Amino acid sequence: MNGSDMISQLELGKPEKRPEKRVNGIFWIILLNLGIYVADHWFQVRGIKTLYLYHNWPAWFQFVTAAFCHAKWNHLSSNLFFLYIFGKLVEEEEGNFALWLSYIFTGAGANLVSWLVLPRNAVSVGASGAVFGLFAISVLVKMSWDWRKILEVLILGQFVIEKVMEAAQASTGLSGFSSGGYALQSVNHIAHLSGALIGVFLVWLLSRVPSQPPDQEVSTLQRKTVKDP
C-alpha cells in the first residue's frame, strides 16, 4: 500500500462533519412578538387589539394571532427568553418549518382549549401556551433514558413552570383596557397545560409518519479499492 492509498483509507475512517444548521425562524418569531407589542403599547395602533382572542365572539384568526400578543412587558420578556431557548432547540433539531408549525399549532391549540373552558367575557393573549408546547417538544425530541438527561429535564422544567407562572401573575390586568366588560385572564393555567399536551401530541403524531428509506447508494469514496503495494 503506497502513501496516497493509506491516506485515502484514513480519510474514509474519519467521521463526516455535520453541516452547521442556521437558525433563523426563532428570531423572526421573537421579532414578530416584539413588533406587535411595540405597535400595541408604544404606538397605540388601533387595529392591534383586534388580534386578541375575545371569548364571547372570536374571529378564526384570533386563535393564532393572540399567541403573538402580550398585555405587559414582564410577561413578554419572560416568554421571549424561553422562546429563544426552546425554539432554538426545536429549530436546530427539526428545522425552520417544524418550529413555525410547532409554535402556531401549540399556541392556537392552547387558545382553543382556553376558549372552550374559560368564561365568555375573558380575553386571552400571550405566547405561554406555545412556550410550554415548545418546551415539551424540545424535551421529547432529545429525550433519552440517561438519568442525567432526566434530571436535567426535571430541573429545567420546574424552573420554566415557575418563571412563566410568575411572569403571567405579574401581567394581571390590562392597563387602560376596558371594552364591553372584557376581563383579561391573569394566569391562564389552561393554556399552559394544554400547550404542553398539544406539543406531546404533535411529537407523537409526527412520529407515526413513516420516514423515507435511507439512501442505498454507495458514495464514490467508498467505492475506492485498495491497491496492493
The one catalytic residue in 128, 138, 171, 194 is: 128
Q: Is 83 exposed, middle or buried (0-12, 13-18, 19+ CB in 10 A)?
A: buried
The one catalytic residue in 78, 114, 192, 194 is: 192
Sheet holding 53-54, edge to edge: 53-54, 122-124, 183-184
Confirm if 53 and 115 have CB atoms less than 8 A apart: yes
What are residue 54's DSSP bridge partners?
Answer: 123
* Three-state helix/strand/coil letters over 129-170: HHHHHHHHHHHHHCCCCCHHHHHHHHHHHHHHHHHHHHHHHH
Q: What is the dihedral of CA 107, 41, 187, 159, to 10 degrees?
A: 80
Is 128 designated active site?
Answer: yes
- Nearest to 83, CA basis, from 40, 31, 22, 46: 31
Amino acid at 122: A
Which H or E run contains 84? helix 73-94
Is 189 designated active site?
Answer: no
Q: Which residues are catalytic?
A: 128, 192
